[in-house]
């Protein structure tokens, strides 16, 4: 009555608004069946059986398709406390059906454990049949519920959703597994009832009723795969409900497998032409069953292979999915190995293509077979794979097909017995001749070769034959650049596993490498150069063994690679080139008939490289090797000085080299530097070193030591002109500035060392003729670029350095100094700031060498302030402006004491005052230099330094007296005009020479013999009148 009521409530046939509890109605039925099960005995079976049959019939009638469709999803978070008729009807049916099974089993006399069995054989058979029928009926109910759930799922959802509408249905399945295992039921023919046989029979029924259940042949297979995986996992539970997993005893029993039916369903699924997405889902669900729960067998893998080998050229792409899911080839052999090694170590990913999922499944199956010593099964699987390939099929593959082929071969190689597979896989790939396929296919196949090469190297297998054949194919396609790149990218991986180079790795060194390096991109070149360096590292690690057996390898390196390294070392910027250059030097001993260490070292250390860091890095690498004792210390010093000029003292490589240099005996011999930190921590170590060399040389009285210091230092700076590009415009401005500063520092500190009379190759001559006073400057052409600024900066340093030589008696030095003044002064108009323009001359005057300062200003005055036809030199105004700034600098320099200021102004006036006074007198009034010079003398006379010094005033008076003697007689008017102009500036100066002027006038008149000269007397009277007027102001 309760069952019928709940069924009627479900259908809305009764008014149940006031129904208090469907749970109580369900419980009444359950309690009744429970009492029958627990409290009855065999004598009562005859009485109970008809009633139970009617109850069973009622329950079976309730379980119709339309009823199950209404209640399969009935679950509630409230559980039994809910008041939903569908929920209690569904769970009641599960309880009642299972209790009915238990009652039937209790009175089943075919059960050997049953002591309450029925004696009548006919009744025994009937009871057993009914029991089996009811078990099958429960399977039908449970599967039908899952089918309705399946209908609402999209294919991707099957991967992460359960086929059980609620936990109670899952528990019912588990109970059925335990019941069948415990009861040991047999069919009348003696065959034992198993869980999977019952399940398979139920699935066959569903197959015959697919249309009514809304299934298609394809969805039927998908549903089977989905529900099977869930049921397989139930074998991991204990009877107490604790989950143990795939290693639990129940899961490892033979009865827990369903291989045969699974294989048949898989074949049906493939025959139904599934989509790529459906294939991925199917294999993704099936994989853990075959790999984790069931022992390894090859049948299903072979069924899948029969499907996939026909579709190798397919992309296995799902339209609308991310482009990253496309079957795109890896970039290199190493990428292939890493990718599939990584995939094999992880659970299957639904984003992978169906083919990749299949290959991984097959590889892991092969791995399990070999681990279980099932060699026959493994060979059966491999044999099935090999039979599907032929040379014609290989040539018919497109790029994607070749990618899939490599994918298959790699997984087999990684999972199978590599000793057995390596030769077969190699031969299969080599059968695809590179000269018989297109360029993109060539690249794809080569990647496969490289992946196998890496595996050969990892397993330490001999590569001789394999490398020879691949390089022959490479030669047949004329060292194709794209193919060469793939091989070059794998060199590093091959050499990384080479310990003795006896397994054919040395064959990789050939003419194809420089051919590739000369045509590839810089990034591609880097990896290949790194691989070559790795080869040298390996050679070094097995040096003694290598010397005995591998001279051919070094000979190949010297023949094929060294010429390329020499060429690129000069022009390229790769940081591997200095390293490889040092590698060749360090290992030059290995082959007796090649260039020796000294020749190679000299070549690489003396090159003018585009990469300024190259030579320094090369020398450092050699000094860090075991061949450092062979390095000439002179070259170390030369490279160090060159690095300080071309690089910066803060450069990491320069710092390393500096630490090595200060430890050299030559360094201590050449300098007076006691504390190494004075140099290492200095901002300009170049200046400190060169200054110290100069001081040591000057302070040494031992002629032999002086000669050694000079010879050594000239050796250090030998060929310095090769340090920079011959065309300075191609150099960076900061590098050019450091180079010119270096020249100035050397000439300032070591002039006696670097100058040799009548020797055109000495540093001094080369520096001036090529860089300071080149032919273009000598010819009066304006300097290019920033050369004027550079020379303007170092000009006073050069002058002071020359000043330490015998510039008065040595004609070459005299001419050089004169040219330095004459040729460069006109080009010093580099700024509108007059003080900046005059800076070299101000600095020159501030030196302690008064002779050179006097020479400079005398030459400057003579060259630019002499007059012709009452006209001034075009650069006269520039020079006068410089003079004005010099006077202002002397007057405003508060750091100088009075004595130094007087000395400097006196040197300046000695060098220029007489000639400038003469210039004022002789030049035309409209020439602009005249007022500028008058302004100059105004600044001089107003200078505090001049006003406080009697000596300076006496010097001006002396120059005026000399001017009077020289020009009074012939240039009377000009002379008195000059005095008149000076009177307006400082009448005292003119007044002081009046007595002398009167005497000179009388002498001139006496020489003429005509008495007083009215013209001279008239000029004198005007001058005296001007003096009186000036006094009155």
Rounded Cα distance, 7 and 9, in Å = 5
Rounded Cα distance, 599 and 607, in Å = 13
Q: What is the pLDDT of residue 73?
A: 66
450 φ/ψ sector (left φ>0, alpha ψ -120 to 50, else beta): alpha
Rounded Cα distance, 134 and 100, in Å = 8
Residues 778-804 have pLDDT tens digits of 998 999 888 999 999 999 999 999 999
Please give the DSSP secondary-structure letter assigned to residue 847.
S
The two three-digit tokens of residue 229, written as one number: 């995986």
Rounded Cα distance, 526 and 637, in Å = 30
Residue 774 CA, chain-centre distance (Å), reads 45
Q: What is the pLDDT of residue 190?
A: 77
Q: Which residue has the higher pLDDT, 394 or 72?
A: 394
Q: Which residues of 664-692 are buried (b: 16+ CB within 10 A; e: fewer)?
A: eebbeebbebeeeeebeeeebbbbebbbb
Rounded Cα distance, 7 and 168, in Å = 20
* Long-range CB pairs of 754-759, under 8 A, 24+ apart, other chains included: 754/713, 754/714, 754/717, 755/805, 755/813, 757/810, 757/812, 758/812
pLDDT at 875 over 50: yes
Mean pLDDT over residues 617-639, rounded? Answer: 91
Name the nearest CA neighbour of 814 among 794, 795, 799: 799
The two three-digit tokens of residue 749, written as one number: 């500190």
Residues 126-148 have pLDDT tens digits of 667 888 999 999 999 899 989 98
Q: For helices 439-458 and 399-415, what crossing angle results, to 10°?
A: 10
Residue 835 CA, chain-centre distance (Å), reads 50
List, in order, residues 6 or more apart from 559 with CB less than 8 Å away: none
Of 96-100, 191-195, 549-553, the one with minimum mean pLDDT is 549-553
pLDDT at 710 over 50: yes
Phi, psi of 980 (to 5 degrees): -65, -45
Q: How many CB atoms lie within 10 A of CB 38?
A: 10
Confidence class for position 118, pLDDT limits 50, 70, 90: very low
Q: How far lies 411's CA from each of 280, 358, 366, 367, in Å?
A: 18, 11, 10, 10
Environment class of 592 (CB within 10 Å of its CB; exposed 0-12, middle 13-18, buried 19+): exposed
Range list of H helices, 720-849: 733-749, 751-754, 763-767, 775-778, 787-803, 811-824, 834-845
Q: How many CB atoms lie within 10 A of CB 393?
A: 13
Confidence class for position 351, pLDDT limits 50, 70, 90: confident
Q: How many CA atoms lie within 13 A of 361 on its CB side?
A: 29
The answer to whether the beta carbons of residues 824 and 864 sit under 8 Å apart is: no
Confidence class for position 478, pLDDT limits 50, 70, 90: very high
Q: Cα-Cα-Cα-Cα dihedral of 872, 878, 882, 885, to 10°?
A: 110
Mean pLDDT over residues 724-737, rounded? Answer: 87
Mean pLDDT over residues 62-85, rounded? Answer: 67
pLDDT at 978 over 70: yes
Name the nearest CA neighbour of 22 among 104, 97, 78: 78
Q: Which residue(s) pair with 186 in the sheet?
A: 192
pLDDT at 896 over 70: no
Rounded Cα distance, 452 and 446, in Å = 10
Of 290-294, 370-374, 1005-1009, the one with minimum mean pLDDT is 1005-1009
Domains of the chain by residue range: 2-213
Mean pLDDT over residues 760-771, rounded? Answer: 95
Q: For helices 811-824 and 850-864, what crossing angle results, to 10°?
A: 60
Q: Which residue has the higher pLDDT, 614 or 726?
A: 614
Rounded Cα distance, 337 and 454, in Å = 8
Mean per-residue pLDDT over the chain, rounded: 88
Cα torsion 179, 182, 183, 187: sign: positive
Mean pLDDT over residues 170-185, rounded? Answer: 92
The answer to whether the beta carbons of residues 492 and 454 sit under 8 Å apart is: no
Q: How far lies 191's CA from each of 185, 426, 915, in Å?
A: 9, 51, 138
Mean pLDDT over residues 440-455, rounded? Answer: 95
Mean pLDDT over residues 217-238, rounded? Answer: 94
Mean pLDDT over residues 142-163, rounded? Answer: 90
Name the nearest CA neighbour of 442 among 382, 390, 391, 398: 398
């Amino acid at each position: 009555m309760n069952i019928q009521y709940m069924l009627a409530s479900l259908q809305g046939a009764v008014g149940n608004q006031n129904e208090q509890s469907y749970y109580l109605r369900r419980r009444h039925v359950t309690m009744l069946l429970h009492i029958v099960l627990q409290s009855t005995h065999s004598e009562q079976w005859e009485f109970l059986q008809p009633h139970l049959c009617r109850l069973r019939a009622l329950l079976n009638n309730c379980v119709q398709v339309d009823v199950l469709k209404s209640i399969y999803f009935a679950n509630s978070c409230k559980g039994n406390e809910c008041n939903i008729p569908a929920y209690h009807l569904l769970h009641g049916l599960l309880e009642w059906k299972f209790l009915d099974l238990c009652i039937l089993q209790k009175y089943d006399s075919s059960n050997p454990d049953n002591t309450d069995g029925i004696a009548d054989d006919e009744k025994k058979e009937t009871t057993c049949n009914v029991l089996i029928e009811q078990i099958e009926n429960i399977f039908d109910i449970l599967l039908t519920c899952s089918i309705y759930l399946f209908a609402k799922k999209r294919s991707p959802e099957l991967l992460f959703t359960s086929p059980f509408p609620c936990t109670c249905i899952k528990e019912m399945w588990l109970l059925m597994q335990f019941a069948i295992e415990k009861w040991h039921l047999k069919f009348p023919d003696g065959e034992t009832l198993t869980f999977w046989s019952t399940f398979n029979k139920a699935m066959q029924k569903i197959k015959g009723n697919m249309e009514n259940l809304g299934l298609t042949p394809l969805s039927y297979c998908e549903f089977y795969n989905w529900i099977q995986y869930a049921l397989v996992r139930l074998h991991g539970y204990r009877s107490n409900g604790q989950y143990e997993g795939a290693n639990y005893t129940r899961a490892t029993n033979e009865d827990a497998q369903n291989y045969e039916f699974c294989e048949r369903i898989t074949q049906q699924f493939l025959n139904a032409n599934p989509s790529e997405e459906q294939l991925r889902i199917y294999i993704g669900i099936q994989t853990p069953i075959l790999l984790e729960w069931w022992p390894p067998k090859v049948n299903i893998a072979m069924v899948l292979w029969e499907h996939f080998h026909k579709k190798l050229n397919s992309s296995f792409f799902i339209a609308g999915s991310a482009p990253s899911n496309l079957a795109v080839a890896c970039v290199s052999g190493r990428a292939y190995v890493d990718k599939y090694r990584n995939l094999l170590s992880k659970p299957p990913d639904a984003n992978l293509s169906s083919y990749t999922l299949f290959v991984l499944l097959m590889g892991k199956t092969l791995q399990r077979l070999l681990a279980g010593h099932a060699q026959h099964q493994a060979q059966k699987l491999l044999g099935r794979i090999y039979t599907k390939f032929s040379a014609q099929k290989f040539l018919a593959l497109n790029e994607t097909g070749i990618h899939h082929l490599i994918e298959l071969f790699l997984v087999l190689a990684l999972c199978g017995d590599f000793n057995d597979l390596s030769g077969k896989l190699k031969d299969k790939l080599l059968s695809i001749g590179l000269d018989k396929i297109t360029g993109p296919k060539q690249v794809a196949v080569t990647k496969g070769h490289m992946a196998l090469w890496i595996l050969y190297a990892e397993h330490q297998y001999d590569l001789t034959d394999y490398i020879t054949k691949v390089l022959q194919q490479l030669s047949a396609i004329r060292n194709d650049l794209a193919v060469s790149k793939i091989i070059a990218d794998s060199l590093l991986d091959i050499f990384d596993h080479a310990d003795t180079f006896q397994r054919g790795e040395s064959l990789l060194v050939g003419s194809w490498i420089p051919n590739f390096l000369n045509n590839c991109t810089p990034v591609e070149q880097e990896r290949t150069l790194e691989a070559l360096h790795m080869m040298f590292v390996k050679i070094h690690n097995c040096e003694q063994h290598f010397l005995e057996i591998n001279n051919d390898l070094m000979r190949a390196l010297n023949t094929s690679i060294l010429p390329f390294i020499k060429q690129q070392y000069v022009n390229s910027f790769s940081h591997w080139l200095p390293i490889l250059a040092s590698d060749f030097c360090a290992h030059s001993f290995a082959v007796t008939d090649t260039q020796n260490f000294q020749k190679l070292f000299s070549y690489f250390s003396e090159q003018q490289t585009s990469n300024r860091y190259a030579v320094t890095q090369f020398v450092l690498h050699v000094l860090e090797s075991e061949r450092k004792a062979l390095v000439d210390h002179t070259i170390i010093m030369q490279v160090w000085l060159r690095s300080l000029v071309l690089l910066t003292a803060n450069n990491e490589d320069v710092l390393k080299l500096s630490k090595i240099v200060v430890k050299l005996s030559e360094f201590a011999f050449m300098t007076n530097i006691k504390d190494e930190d004075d140099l290492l921590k200095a901002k300009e170590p170049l200046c400190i070193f060169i200054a110290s060399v100069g001081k040591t040389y000057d302070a040494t009285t031992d002629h032999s030591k002086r000669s050694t210091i000079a010879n050594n230092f000239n050796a250090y700076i030998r060929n310095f002109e090769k340090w920079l590009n011959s065309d300075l415009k191609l150099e960076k401005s900061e590098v050019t500035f450091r180079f010119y500063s270096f020249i100035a520092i050397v000439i300032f500190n070591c002039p006696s060392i670097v100058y040799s009379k009548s020797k055109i190759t000495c540093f001094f001559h080369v520096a001036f003729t090529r860089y300071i006073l080149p032919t273009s400057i000598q010819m009066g052409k304006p300097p290019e670029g920033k050369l004027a600024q550079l020379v303007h900066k170092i000009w006073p340093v050069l002058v002071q350095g020359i000043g330490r030589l015998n510039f008065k008696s040595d004609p070459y030095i005299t001419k050089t100094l004169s040219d330095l003044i004459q040729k460069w002064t006109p080009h010093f108009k580099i700024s509108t700031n007059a003080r900046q323009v005059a800076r070299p001359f101000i600095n020159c005057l501030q030196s302690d060498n008064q002779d050179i300062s006097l020479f400079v200003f005398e030459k400057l005055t003579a060259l630019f302030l002499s007059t012709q036809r009452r006209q001034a030199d075009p650069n006269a105004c520039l020079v006068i402006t410089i003079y004005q700034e010099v006077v202002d600098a002397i007057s405003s320099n508060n750091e100088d004491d009075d004595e130094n200021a007087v000395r400097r102004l006196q040197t300046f006036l000695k060098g220029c005052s007489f000639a400038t006074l003469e210039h004022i007198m002789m030049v035309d009034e409209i020439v602009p230099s005249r007022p500028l010079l008058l302004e100059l003398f105004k600044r001089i006379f107003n200078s505090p330094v001049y006003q406080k010094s009697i000596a300076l005033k006496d010097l001006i008076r002396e120059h005026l007296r000399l001017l009077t003697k020289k020009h009074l007689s012939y240039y009377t008017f000009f002379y008195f005009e000059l005095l008149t102009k000076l009177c307006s500036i400082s009448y005292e100066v003119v007044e002081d020479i009046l007595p002398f002027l009167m005497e000179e006038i009388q002498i001139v008149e006496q020489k003429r013999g005509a008495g007083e000269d009215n013209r001279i007397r008239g000029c004198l009277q005007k001058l005296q009148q001007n003096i009186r007027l000036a006094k009155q102001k």
